[in-house]
Each structure stands twice: as structure tokens, then as C-alpha cells.
Amino acid sequence: MTQRFRAGLIAAVLGLASFAPLSHAIANDAIDTVTTGSVPAEAGITAGEPKGSEAFRAALAVLLAGDPVAAYSQAAALDNAVERRTVQWAAIYFHAGEIDYRSIEQFIADAPGFAPTSIARTRIEQSLTRAEADAGAVIKTLAGSTPRTVDGRILLASAYLAEGDTQRATSLARSIWIDNFLTEAQEAKVAARLGSLLDGEAHWARAVHLMMHDRARGSERLLPHLTEAQKSLVVARAAVSRNAGNAKALLDDVDESLHDHPVYLYSRAQRARQFALWESAVDWLNRAPEVLPDSAEWWYERRTLIRQLLNEGEPALAYQAAAGYRRGPEGRLVEAHFHAGWIALSFLADPAAATQHFTAMAGLATLPDSVTQANYWLARAHRAAGNAASAQAALETAAAFGTVYYGQLARAELGEAGVDIRPLPDARPSETLFNAHPVVGAVRLLAANGQAKMAVPLLRHFGAGLTRGGELLLAAQLAEEIDAHHLAISIANTADQRGTPLDMFSFPQAGLPDDARLAADRAAVYAVVRQESMFQIDAVSSAGARGLMQLMPGTAREVAREVGVDYSPGRLVSDAAYNALLGSTYLSAQLERYDGSLVLAAAAYNAGPGNANKWIRAYGDPRADNVDPVIWVELIPFQETRTYVKRVLGNYLVYRARLGDSPLTLQQALRTIR
């Protein structure tokens, strides 16, 4: 298929009047991390005046000085139960394994419901491991349920073996070995303590698990324990994972007895994709058996292939790759049905097939994003098939979720502009019990003593266990009180999933100072901040992006120079107004670059302007009247950036409503926000 024809195919789907050059390697390009990064969910902000007894503050000071054992002991003498439990919980939680396991067991007995049993059990296992407790104590403490940590499981299996219970020891050892990645130190510990319990079948099962997750070095460490046939597949799979030049030759040399093995089929498919052998790649994937090891990994490989096939102008093959994924985790099946339905409708003009896939997707979807996506596209499929009434019903289902991207698209199709902020539930019936709960008292006590950050995990776990709307509202409100805006959003999302919308907390305004100097549309800044950091001032991503707007240090330094302020790495994660000034200036530059297109500005903010420009060349310009911006967004080849753009656009309309701006439809915002 010629380059011109491939470009023409995508141009036709988007409604372009002319051909556009198509870049070959879009699906394999890396996201530009100069301006982006993922954000870990953690941290909090200090607040308040010291409160509680003098003895409580003294015990807390000892804990903060780094002596959890002494602090725990001092807390035991406190008369006030909330004060006592607050210090003891913090010593247990923030100092893994340092508090004696018997003390933790006593804490659970004395303070049921104060903190999740799961956390306490984890700390007990860490304490037992640290103390090198004897086998009898380990079995007595851990045998009631499967340990939560790998080290805890190793400890219990070793204890069973020491006590002569070979059956239980073997069962647990196999589970540890087969189902976990393990560090090299943990591997060595298992080999030394439990190696005699592991047979060739267990080693092969572990190798399969590691191979399917591209853990080449880990699988190679198992070679001494494998048969010659198994070794041939491990070596070949490692070569494919590394995209080595001899990978095909090694695959050809894999023992014939393993040619039907899922890892062999997967590796053949991946190697075919690496060399653009598209039909072969799809064929190998579709030879897979119904029951697969690590079936989610099969979907990720299919998704990569699907995107490359679309870029190469091969929608029929892309459809085969998507529709061929029939069994796996529900979340992956939802994705597979979306891709199959979207390709059938938008590229193959087959609304009947699309309707089947979107209907199946709607039946599996449980979260607002996927429920609305399924029903919005189901409506488009029904409309294409001439089923106006069915299209209307699907749009109404999606439009019920007015704070998310596809729900807003559905509202636009129904002629409704803006977003209706849903009313909060009446929390008054829940206030007395909520305020009397010891966890709530502990959160307020920590915050009042300037330790709100310590209170965040306590409130997070507490909020996750609430079910009533009023309680969830009060928990979100408490998170706002201690400036843990990211936690308020998380609690509000939990409430929404449980049938209680808390839009005012899911889309907070308090995370940005009212007097902050912003260089871009305020609603757009809020929209980006919510997606980048959930208003967590001290968020730092694995890539090094910092603060509310997740600025990379190099970008922040350059923008600070342009703005005329001093560059301060520390202020990026401590001064909300400073971070927002620099971040909004960078966002404003992207909006200016793309003539007010928030779609392109968000794509550039997440993946870099170079990628955004590349996608314009490949797929057309979403600002143009002859391009469907909804399909353009779906064509973004990076999963992260597709999701990012959709959420920023969805957030933007909500924040326009919260800030009192004139209502827009999402279709309008997809073109320009000027």
C-alpha cells in the first residue's frame, strides 16, 4: 500500500479534502518528557495551631525526631484514647517493621476500625521479618491468612518447612515463585530457604510469567533449571524483548514441541510487528488459545499493533487484531471492544459490526469514562445505521455523566451547553457520628499540630471504607480543610462510583490561590492542574516533573527567565502561586502556538510540541472545519496522551461552570477556547 494511499485513508476518515503526509513511526515515538511526567498519589499540606495535651505533643515530637519505639512507649501512657492511638498509628505506619509485631497485634485489638487491618498486617509481617522471629511465632501470627507481603510469605513458608509441614510449605513456595516478580535478593532468599521444594514445573511456570512481562534477565536466571526445549524459548523470547538482530533465527530454532506455546506465538507476533509484517503479526496473535497466561499483556501487544496498522492504512487488519481479543480482564475487553467498534464505524463503514462491539462494551463498562465512551459511540453507530431512536437513547445514557468527556460530547449532540454541577447531599444526619469517630479526631489532631501530611494516609483509608453519601461528603470536606486537595478529589471519585456525586470536591478551586498570577485562561489552568497533580503541591513524578502543573526543571528555569523571576526548584513544590505562574505561562505559550486550541495545547503540554505537530501532519488539523476533532483525538497514538487530552477538555468545561464563565459545548471547545 503506498504512502499516499495510507495518508488518504486517514484523511477520508477525518473528512479531509486533501491528502496529508503520514509519519511511519508515530506509534513507536516516545513521549517528550521535557515537559511531562506521571504523578504518584501521595503527600499533603501542613496546617493549624498545636492542640492536644502536653504529653501528646511530647510523644509526637519524639516520633518526629525519628524514635518510633520510644514514641510508641510514651503514647501508651496517654489517657486520651485518640491521642494515644494517633501517635501509635503514626509510629506503626511511618516506620515499617520497627514496632514489635506483638505491640501491633495489641493495637489492632485495642483500636478496631481505627486503621485498615491490611496496613497493620503488613507491618506485622515486616516486624517479624526484621526480628527474625522463630518458626512457632511466625506460624502462630501469620497462619490465619495468606501474608500480604512477599517477605511475609517467604517467612511463613520457611517456618512451615522448619516445623516439618512440607505440604503447606511447598504450596506457598510455589505461589511465591510463580506469581511474583521478586527482587534478586528475594530470589536468592527463596532459592536458599525453599529451593528444595521447587521442581522443574515451578521453574518453567515462573519463566513463562517473566517472559510475558519482558523480564528477560529474570527468565535467563532460570536457565539452569529448565529443559533444553524450554531454554530455547527463553533465549528466543529474550532476544525478541531486546529487539536483537538474531531474534528471528532464535525463534526458528525453538524446539518444535513448544511451537503451540502461548509465549512462542506471542513472540512470533511481536517479532512480525517489529519488522512490519502486518498480516503475519495478526495471524500469530489470532492463533492464541482461549486461556492465556498474563492475558492483559496480549491486549497491550494487540493495541500497539492496532495503532501501527491504522497509521499504515490497514484498518481491516487492525479490526481483526482488535476483534480477536475475546478473553481477558474486563477492563482490557472494554478497550478491545472500543477499538473494534471504532475501527468498524470510522474506517470500515460497518455500523452493524460497530453496534455489536459498542453494545458489548456497554455491558462490561462500570466506570463513568467507559460507560459514556461506550454509549456515545453506540449512538454514532446507531445513527450511521439509521436508528435515530436508539441513538437518542444511547446519547441520553451518556449525557447523564456531564462531568466527563464523552458525557459532554453526548450533551452537545443533544443541544445542551455547559455542565450542570450536581447538588451535594445533606450531610447533617451524618455529622455527629462522623465527628465523633476517632480517626476524624486523629486527622484533626495531626493537622492542628502542623502534621497534615501525616494525616493523609489515615484519612485516605478511612474515606475508602465509607459508603453513605453524607459521610463521604464530610470526609472530602475534611480533606479540603487540611489542604489535601488531591485526597478530596479521590474521595469524591469514590463517592461518585458509589452513587453520590460530589462535583464541588471532585473539581476543587481552593488548590490555586485566588490572587495567583495566571498567564492563561483560568479554567484551562485548573483543568490542567487537576489532571497533572490533582492539586498536590509537592507532587514529583518519576520523570522529575514538579508541583501543581508538573513542570520539568529545565522548562521551569526557561519560563522563569522569560517571566523575569528567579528560578527556585524548592518553590516549584512548595509555592502554589509560583508553580502556577510558570506553568500557566508555558500553557499560554502552547495555546498561542495553536491559536487557542486546547486539544493541541494539552497534547503539547503532555507529549511535547514536536509530537503535536507530527500528529497535525499525519491526521490533519483539528482546528479545521473539514476535520472531525473527536476522531482526531482518538487517533492520538499515545494512550497516555489520548486520555490526558480528553480529561483536560472534560475538566475545562466543568471549571468554566464552577467559575461562572459562559457555557460552551465540548464540540465548541474542541475547536478553540478563544
User: 125: closest CA among 151, 145, 99, 105?
Assistant: 151
Which 3 state secondary structure label does DSSP give 520? coil
The position carrying cell 474486563 is 330
* C-alpha cell at position 375: 454509549
* C-alpha cell at position 337: 471492544
532 included as an active-site residue: yes
98 contact partners, CB below 8 Å, separation of at least 6: 68, 69, 91, 127, 130
Q: What is the pLDDT of residues 464-509, one digit of tens each?
A: 999 999 999 999 999 999 999 999 999 999 999 999 999 999 999 9
Half-sphere exposure of 549 (CA within 13 A, CB side): 32
CA angle 265/267/270 to nearest 5° reads 110
Residue 598 · residue 648 · CB < 8 Å: yes
Q: Across 147-220, where does the E strand assignment appear?
A: none
What CATH superfamily classification does 247-413 receive?
Tetratricopeptide repeat domain (1.25.40.10)
User: 454: closest CA among 129, 152, 88, 195?
Assistant: 88
CA 170 to chain centre: 35
Q: How many residues make up the chain in this entry?
A: 674
Please report the pLDDT score of residue 408 as a whole number.
Answer: 97
DSSP 234: H
Please report the pLDDT score of residue 657 as a whole number.
Answer: 96
Crossing angle of helices 3-14 and 295-311, rounded to 10°: 100
CA distance 663 to 673: 11
Backbone angles phi, psi at 546, to 5 degrees: -130, 140
User: 518: closest CA among 508, 530, 504, 529?
Assistant: 529
CB count, 10 Å around CB of 66?
9
Which 3 state secondary structure label does DSSP give 468? coil
CA distance 641 to 599: 10
Residue 460 · residue 483 · CB < 8 Å: no
Which 3 state secondary structure label does DSSP give 95? coil
* C-alpha cell at position 411: 450533551
Please report the pLDDT score of residue 35 as a whole number.
Answer: 35
- Report residues of the chain scoring pLDDT below 50: 1-6, 9-11, 15-49
CA distance 598 to 592: 10
Which amino acid is residue 461, in one-letter code?
Answer: H
CATH 1.20.1050.10 fits 522-671, yes or no: no
Backbone angles phi, psi at 540, to 5 degrees: -135, 125
- How many Å from the N-terminal Cα to the C-terminal Cα in the chain? 40
**Which of 312, 480, 532, 634 is labelled catalytic?**
532
Residue 244 · residue 271 · CB < 8 Å: no
Please report the pLDDT score of residue 37 as a whole number.
Answer: 33
* C-alpha cell at position 179: 506469581
Q: CA torsion 256→259→261→266, rounded to 10°? A: 140
Please report the pLDDT score of residue 50 as a whole number.
Answer: 60
Please report the pLDDT score of residue 295 as a whole number.
Answer: 86
Which 3 state secondary structure label does DSSP give 260? coil
* C-alpha cell at position 484: 489535601
Please report the pLDDT score of residue 116 as a whole number.
Answer: 82
Residue 36 · residue 606 · CB < 8 Å: yes
CA distance 637 to 618: 11
Where are the alpha helices (H) located in 414-511, listed in sequence order? 428-436, 438-448, 452-464, 469-481, 485-497, 503-506
Backbone angles phi, psi at 551, to 5 degrees: -90, 135
Residue 304 · residue 27 · CB < 8 Å: yes
- Report the 3 state secondary structure along 578-635: HHHHHHHHHHHHHHHHCCCCHHHHHHHHHHCHHHHHHHHHHHCCCCCCCCCHHHHHHH
CA distance 386 to 342: 17
Please report the pLDDT score of residue 65 as a whole number.
Answer: 98
* C-alpha cell at position 612: 503535536
